Amino acid sequence: MRPLTYTRSLSELWVGISTIEAKWKSWESTFSPDTYILGSALPSEDLVQQILQMPSDSALYWKNQWIAYRASSPQKEHRQIKYLTVQPAFIQYPEELLEANSRSLETEIKPNTSNQNAFAERGNTLINPTNCFIDPSASLTGSILDASHGPIHIGKNVILQIGTYIQGPAAILQDSITNLGAIIRPFTTIGPGCKVGGEISASIFFPYSNKSHEGFIGNSIIGSFCNLGALTTCSNVRNDLKSVHLYNYATNNQRDTGRKSFGILLGDYVTTGIHTKFNTGTVVGNHCNISGTQFLPKFIPSLTWGEYPNFTPYRTDRAAENATAWIHAKKQEIPENLHSSIEQIWKEEANARN
């Protein structure tokens, strides 16, 4: 799951309307204190029951992957293993994160009762409003929400500006803003503290990222503290309709996803210039400041700077300075390990840069 997991654990990945970790909270107190659960595993009633029934010093596996175990300390090998007969939901690859997001949006959003007259007075149109959750603190003006094919979640302090179109299932989470005329298509999650515009489809925006202007982003995952310049656009389907390949950090090679649709995977702290164009299945690492009027390469290592084809390594001090500026802009706290994290990413991607 690189580059997303450079700065977060698997359990901090966003799926549906929350992180994976948040989805386990309601069961947390029922588990034995010595229980370890795979960070990318999604909870279900069946899996929870299997975990509760685990004896001490045992593990649950799906094929060759451990899903949960009980031990006095973290372990890499397990002796007493029970193999699950029903495949649990867990994330192995980025495209699976998008698929899990689509499923979660349809099941996690719980509609509430809202004042339809108040929305109408502000020029809003809600289609199938009984399939919407709209926090009372949210501000909607001149927007159209179509929940006839899936639920819509509008979180706390969200602002939908004039001309916003949203097709469910979709979620706009706390403190996010849509720009004038934004188009949010189905199976999209806009994380907390984002500002978005243009057209976004079947994508996940991690917290505190911006795509304020025109341009299309589809079947994509955008990390935190990213800023996409005006008319930044990606392709999400190959012209020959063959399956999309993505760069795999583990093998330093391309991997066939087996999927027909995937746009871009951006790490954290990525900024793009105006008119930047991404090809189908592009992966960009963390701390990049890039642009280009022609299609960019399908893999761009972390700490890359400049206008393609004249890319150069991004100085680590400049990368930290840029990251700090965006963190301040979003009124968030600067991680204590920001500088050391950048240095570590630089070291880890030595082979990728070559």
pTM, rounded to two decimals:
0.94
Q: Give 117's pLDDT tier (boundaries 50, 70, 90).
A: confident
Q: pLDDT tens, 24-39? A: 999 989 999 999 999 9
Q: Give 240's pLDDT tier (boundaries 50, 70, 90).
A: very high
Q: pLDDT tens, 270-324? A: 999 999 999 999 999 999 999 988 899 999 999 999 999 999 988 899 999 999 9
Domains assigned to the chain: 9-91 (no CATH), 108-353 (2.160.10.10)
Residues 6+ apart with CB under 8 A from 248: 254, 255
Helices (H), the chain: 20-23, 25-28, 45-52, 94-108, 116-121, 316-329, 338-348, 350-353
List phi, psi (to 5°) of 26: -65, -20
41: number of Cβ within 10 Å: 24
Q: Give 118's pLDDT tier (boundaries 50, 70, 90).
A: confident
CA distance 246 to 265: 9
CA distance 68 to 65: 9
pLDDT at residue 353 in the model: 76
| Residue 166 near residue 172 (C-beta atoms within 8 A) | yes
